[in-house]
Amino acid sequence: MRVVVPFDATDPKTRLDPVLDATERRAFSERMLRDVVSAVDAAGGRPEVITTAPLGSESEFEFESESESESESEFDFERDREADRPVEVRVDDRPLSTVVNDTIDAVSEDEELAVVVADLALATPTALSRLFETEGEVVVAPGRGAGTNALVVRTPEFRVDYHGTSFLDHLGIARSLGIEPTVVDSFRLATDVDEPADLVEVLVHGEGHAHEWLDARFELVVDDAEGRVSIERV
Amino acid sequence: MRVVVPFDATDPKTRLDPVLDATERRAFSERMLRDVVSAVDAAGGRPEVITTAPLGSESEFEFESESESESESEFDFERDREADRPVEVRVDDRPLSTVVNDTIDAVSEDEELAVVVADLALATPTALSRLFETEGEVVVAPGRGAGTNALVVRTPEFRVDYHGTSFLDHLGIARSLGIEPTVVDSFRLATDVDEPADLVEVLVHGEGHAHEWLDARFELVVDDAEGRVSIERV
Q: Say whether B205 and A142 touch across the interface (CB within 8 A).
A: yes
Nearest CA among B31, B158, B65, B52 for reference residue B105: B158
Q: Say whether B167 and A127 touch across the interface (CB within 8 A).
A: no
Contact criterion met (CB below 8 Å) for A144 and A192 = yes
pLDDT of amino acid A60: 38
Q: Say whether B229 and A145 touch across the interface (CB within 8 A).
A: yes
pLDDT of amino acid A55: 87
Cα–Cα dist A89/A51, whole Å = 7
H/E segment holding residue B2: strand B2-7
Query: Which chain B residue is nearest to residue A128, measuring alpha carbons?
Result: B185
pLDDT at A61 over 80: no
pLDDT of amino acid B144: 97
Other Cβ atoms within 10 Å of A18 Cβ, number? 7
Rounded to two decimals, the pTM is 0.91
The radius of gyration of chain A from alpha carbons, rounded to an integer in Å, stands at: 18
Q: Say whether B164 and A200 touch across the interface (CB within 8 A).
A: no
Contacts A189 to B, Cβ<8 Å? 187
How close, in Å, is residue A85 to chain B by CA atoms?
30
Contacts A205 to B, Cβ<8 Å? 142
Q: Say whether A145 and B205 touch across the interface (CB within 8 A).
A: no
Q: Which residues pair with B4 in a beta bridge?
A: B48, B115
In B54-161 the beta strands, taken as DSSP E runs, fall at 88-91, 113-116, 138-143, 147-153
Contact criterion met (CB below 8 Å) for A169 and A161 = yes
Contacts B228 to A, Cβ<8 Å? 145
Using a CB–CB cut-off of 8 Å, the residues of B that contact A are 126-127, 130, 142, 144-147, 162-165, 167-168, 185-190, 197, 200-201, 204-205, 220, 222, 224, 227-229
Query: Which chain A residue is nearest to residue B189, measuring alpha carbons?
Result: A187
Lowest mean pLDDT among A52-61, A73-82, B181-190: A73-82
* Opening angle at CA A137, ends A109 and B222, nearest 5: 120
Read off the pLDDT of residues A101-139 as tens digits, 9 standing for 90 and up: 999 999 988 899 999 999 999 999 999 999 999 999 999
Average pLDDT, chain A: 89
Q: How confident is the model at residue A164 (pLDDT cuts 50, 70, 90)?
A: very high
Other Cβ atoms within 10 Å of B144 Cβ, number? 24
pLDDT at A153 over 70: yes
How far is C-alpha B33 from the geometric centre of its chain's CA atoms? 6
Q: Alpha helix (H) ranges present in B143-193? A: 166-176, 187-190
Contacts B168 to A, Cβ<8 Å? 204
Average pLDDT (B87-104) is 95
Average pLDDT (A11-21) is 93
User: What is the DSSP secondary structure assignment for residue B166, as one 8-state letter?
Assistant: H
Q: Say whether B165 and A190 touch across the interface (CB within 8 A).
A: no
ipTM value for the complex: 0.91
Contact criterion met (CB below 8 Å) for A36 and A116 = yes
- Find the farthest-apart pair of alpha carbons in chain A and give their distance in angstroms, rounded: 58
pLDDT of amino acid A169: 98
SS (H, E, C) chain A: CEEEEEECCCCCCHHHCCCCCHHHHHHHHHHHHHHHHHHHHHCCCEEEEEECCCCCCCCCCCCCCCCCCCCCCCCCHHHHCCCCCCCEEEECCCCHHHHHHHHHHHCCCCCCEEEECCCCCCCCHHHHHHHHHCCCCEEEEEECCCEEEEEEECCCCCCCCCCCCHHHHHHHHHHHCCCCCEECCCHHHHCCCCCHHHHHHHHHHCCCHHHHHHHCCEEEEEECCCCEEEEEEC
Q: How confident is the model at residue B60 (pLDDT cuts 50, 70, 90)?
A: very low
Q: How confident is the model at residue A214 (pLDDT cuts 50, 70, 90)?
A: very high
Query: Which chain A residue is nearest to residue B144, measuring alpha carbons?
Result: A201
pLDDT of amino acid A83: 53
Cα–Cα dist B50/B88, whole Å = 8
pLDDT at B62 over 70: no
Nearest CA among B41, B3, B47 for reference residue B208: B41
The partner residue sitting opposite B204, judged by closest CB among A126, A127, A146, is A146
pLDDT of amino acid A225: 80
Give SS3 for B146: helix
Contact criterion met (CB below 8 Å) for B230 and B200 = yes
Whats the size of chain B, residue-wise? 234
Contact criterion met (CB below 8 Å) for B161 and B100 = no
Q: Say whether B186 and A188 touch across the interface (CB within 8 A).
A: no
Q: Cα(first)–Cα(last) distance of chain A, in Å?
A: 41
Query: Which chain A residue is nearest to residue B190, measuring alpha carbons?
Result: A187
Q: Cα(first)–Cα(last) distance of chain B, in Å?
A: 41
Picking from B8, B17, B144 by the largest number of A CB atoms within 10 A of its own CB, the best residue to mutate is B144
Read off the pLDDT of residues B119-169 as tens digits, 9 standing for 90 and up: 999 999 999 999 999 999 999 999 999 999 999 999 999 999 998 999 999
pLDDT at B107 over 70: yes
Q: How confident is the model at residue A66 (pLDDT cuts 50, 70, 90)?
A: very low
